[in-house]
Structure 1
Amino acid sequence: MQPNPVYTRDAALQIVQEYIQSHNLINHMLSVEAAMRFYARYFHEDEDLWGITGLLHDFDWEKYPTLDQHGVAGAPILRERGVPEVIVQAILSHVDSSGVARETTLQKALFACDEITGLITAVALVRPSRSLMDLTSKSVKKKWKDKAFAAGANRDEIEHATQELGIDLWQHVDNVILAMREIASQLGLAGETTPSVE
């Protein structure tokens, strides 16, 4: 099957709904999509291409939940579904064990947006507002050194990924929070507050 150069978000969402049952994992993928769309605008790149890459990046995690399989096992499925190779390569590159080096800004952005969204979600959930709307990097910074908090969010990987992308860590955190605010209601993290200015 020939890859479709004009690949739609609806087609990607169909794959996500077919392969993912976990509501939390879908929210994670939507969060990464939002962050990738933010960075596509930031870098003047194709927002749909970047967004779809974020949306699909973990589609195979429930079927292949180990780091040696994740990404690599899913790539042939994506190719069969007509997902453009540029997206497949970016998804492969976000898993170090795939052996695909991160060379493009798209690939580096996906790696940088992946882990951080989980940490931001965890911080939002323990706030009284349970909201992204009044969350800033200052709150994330307070939880950063507490390794027991959101232990699954690899701080070293987040720092490394942000350096690869060439953006200050805390600016990156604020950028991703802004991106996730755009879909806060969908994520159940809108609360009843309005964004604060710090």
Structure 2
Amino acid sequence: MLTRDEAWQLLCDWTPSDKLRVHARAVELVMRDLATGLDQDVERFGLAGLLHDADYDSWPEEHPRRIVAWLRARGDEDIAHAISAHYTRWQVPYESLLDKALLASDEITGFVMACALVRPTRTEGLEPKSVKKKLKDKAFAAGVDRFEVAEGLRMLIEAIGGTEDEHLARIIGVLHAHRGELGLN
């Protein structure tokens, strides 16, 4: 089984961009937190979050095929499948909670970080309603696919219950707890 150290080394080898590494780490933290709260495999959830964009910097035209193939060759099929499904337009079926959790954590984590970065207090005092208001502004963080955010939240809520506000508050809390590491001070 893949270890966290091996995954981090691969991410560093394949991902020269510090910005993308920070995103990967943020999604890893959000996924680990979700897994803990749902009594799921924290390591597997974390590894999926950490590696979901590992091949994007070096081989954007092959994303996510290269990381998926690498994981499948190692026997890490659950993580490979979740990564192959982390964008709905790829038409990969969502078969597990891991698959849905990654979709529900990827785009929105990046978006919440963008929301925090334009505030003088960053994550301090950031509320779900502020994030939702920014989601309506198509010019803000225009690269974030709002459809993916909505589908991810819908699938996760359908699978585990809760509300959008609860999911957003949890993400904000995770990012706040790790704000120093994530450059959100």
Fold conserved between structures, TM > 0.5? yes
Determine the structure 1 residue equivalent to 2:24: 29
Determine the structure 1 residue equivalent to 2:119: 127
What is the one-letter code of the residue matched to 2:55? D
Provide the C-alpha distance between the structure 2 equivalents of 1:91 and 1:10, rounded to a whole number of angstroms. Answer: 19
Distance 1:31 1:83, change over 3 A: farther
Cα RMSD (Å): 1.6
Provide the C-alpha distance between the structure 1 equivalents of 2:8 and 2:66, rounded to a whole number of angstroms. Answer: 19
Larger Rg belongs to = 1
Determine the structure 1 residue equivalent to 2:3: 8
Runs of 4+ in structure 1 deviating by more than 6 angstroms, as ranges, are none
Displacement, 1:176? 1.0
Displacement, 1:98? 4.5
Determine the structure 2 residue equivalent to 1:195: none
Determine the structure 2 residue equivalent to 1:70: 63
Q: What is the TM-score when the length of structure 1 is the normalising length?
A: 0.85
Displacement, 1:65? 1.6
Q: What is the TM-score when the length of structure 2 is the normalising length?
A: 0.90
Distance 1:110 1:19, change over 3 A: same
Q: 2:45, 2:98 within 8 Å by CA — same for their partners in 1?
A: yes
Displacement, 1:97? 5.1
Displacement, 1:188? 1.1
Displacement, 1:99? 4.1
Q: 1:72, 1:98 within 8 Å by CA — same for their partners in 2?
A: no
Determine the structure 2 residue equivalent to 1:115: 107
Q: Which runs of 5+ in 2 are unaligned?
A: none
Please say if 1:159 is aligned against 2:150: yes
Q: Which has the higher helix share?
A: 2
Q: 2:88, 2:148 within 8 Å by CA — same for their partners in 1?
A: no
What is the one-letter code of the residue matched to 1:9? R
CA displacement, residues 154-185 of structure 1 (integer Å, 9 cap, x when unaligned): 12221111111114222221111112223211
